[in-house]
Structure 1
Amino acid sequence: MMAQEERQAASDRIENVDALNRTIAQEAQTDQELESQVPPRSRYGTIWRVAAVIVLLLALLTSVVFLA
């Protein structure tokens, strides 16, 4: 329970930082194009990237073992 609450609190802080960055960009008028708006961060983006790297490394290791 506590770990989940801490993860939620950390996620909320990240979202608050993203919202603050968007607000600052709007006040500075640097967000005139849609591409210049700071996109929100994905909560699980890092997990997916790490999982993909692990899967690719395992596939590479498996292919090296079977082809050797």
Structure 2
Amino acid sequence: MLIIDRKDGESIERVLKRYKRKHRNVKLRRELSERKYFTKPSVKRREEVLKAAYIESKKEE
């Protein structure tokens, strides 16, 4: 859970902006979507290998 402390004289808009930035950097939304269903470790590893191969092929082009 993210905790944002409001400083003296700081506007609500500014606090919300800091919260949104921190939320985006933590990648909380992605983690929540990954937890919706179970993925076997072997499938995760296969996806990582395929992604790495794709990135390498793009670098060579």
TM-score scaled by structure 1? Answer: 0.33
- The answer to which structure has the higher helix fraction is 1
TM-score scaled by structure 2? Answer: 0.36
